[in-house]
Amino acid sequence: MKQNRSTAVMQRRIEPHDSLEYFPTPPWATRAVCELLQAEYAEPLELQRAWEPCCGELHMVRPMREYFAQVHATDVHRYAQDHGIFDFLDLGAAPPVLDVDWIFLNPPFLPAHRFIDRARTIARRGVAVFARAAFTESESRYAGLFSPDQRPACVATFCERVVLLKGRLIERNRPDPFNLDEDGKPKSASSATAYCWIIWRRDDHDTRHRWIAPGTSDRLTRPGDYPDYSHHFPEPKGSLL
């Protein structure tokens, strides 16, 4: 059996330095961290404001709006019509919103520490970052993100795989029409990469390690969470046009 070496599923992927690295987050994964903030820290999200500055097609923003009183959505690129345009890494540009309690991020991997640094200067209560589990291993990020006076309040590990695919959002184990096998049939969406949420809270550096239980994806997936890509499926071999 050949190993699946797709950059969408391997632990290590290579991106150009100017890549936007758009890997949309499954909505259930965002609901999971909102539930964790409520359960672990009694955060009254229904009274708070949040910002997602890497919002893409709003796959993280929509579930955030189920929990927060208000959610602002921006991105450097126009992925959808109903979000603002803002370069979060342009330190010379005034943020379009400052009065926010939380910033949620699934940042591009290469400049992720810069996104986190700026987010932590803006958010009043905390920053929640969706990242590869290996993100916490870096020597270069230790001083600024994980040293005793900087370390996060919580790292929450997913016990089940969260499937991230470049440029598309497909439910785990469902056919992916953009990834075909040698017979031209869609492969099932899968991942070999482990992900977690890393949560920084102001003045809380006593890191807890929590686990997001198996079955959470089924429990927190809602109708309409995933785009309909049916028109992208290939025609069966031998079909008549």
What is the domain count for the chain? 1
Instruction: Give domain status of residue 233, yes or no.
Output: no
Residue 174 included in any domain: yes
| 117 in a structural domain | yes
Give the burial string for 138-172 (b: 16+ CB within 10 Å, else e). Answer: eeebeeebbeeeebbbbbbebeebbbbbeebbbbb
- DSSP letter at 12 equals S
Output the pLDDT for position 97: 87
Considering the domain boundaries, does residue 100 fall inside one? yes
Strands 102-105 and 49-52 turn out to be: parallel
Q: What is the DSSP letter of 160?
A: S
pLDDT for position 237: 60
57: CATH: 3.40.50.150
Q: What is the pLDDT of residue 234?
A: 77
d(CA 196, CA 111): 18
- Tokens 């056919």 -> residue: 175
Return the residue matching tokens 């290579």: 14
In the prediction, which pLDDT does 18 show? 42
pLDDT tens digits, 127-172: 999 999 999 998 999 999 999 999 999 999 999 999 999 999 999 9
Interatomic CA distance for residues 2 and 111, integer angstroms? 33
Give me the percent of the chain exceeding a pLDDT of 70.
89
Q: Which helix (H) or strand (E) holds 116?
A: helix 112-122
Residue 11 belongs to a domain: no
- Asked whether residue 186 is assigned to any structural domain, the reply reads yes
Assess if residue 1 is contained within a domain: no
pLDDT of amino acid 203: 93
C-alpha torsion sign, points 106, 111, 117, 123 = negative
Q: Rounded to 5 degrees, what are φ and ψ at 30?
A: -70, -40
Domain boundaries, position 88: 27-220
Query: pLDDT by residue for the chain (241 residues), tens digit each?
Result: 343 444 443 333 333 334 468 999 999 999 999 999 999 999 999 999 999 999 999 999 999 999 999 999 999 999 988 899 999 999 999 999 889 999 999 999 889 999 999 999 999 999 999 999 999 998 999 999 999 999 999 999 999 999 999 999 999 999 999 999 999 999 999 999 999 999 999 999 999 999 999 999 999 999 999 999 988 887 766 544 4
Q: Is 146 helix (H, G, I), strand (E, B) or coil?
A: helix
SS3 call for 199: strand
**Which secondary structure element, helix H or strand E, spans residue 40, and what is its range?**
helix 27-41
6 inside domain? no
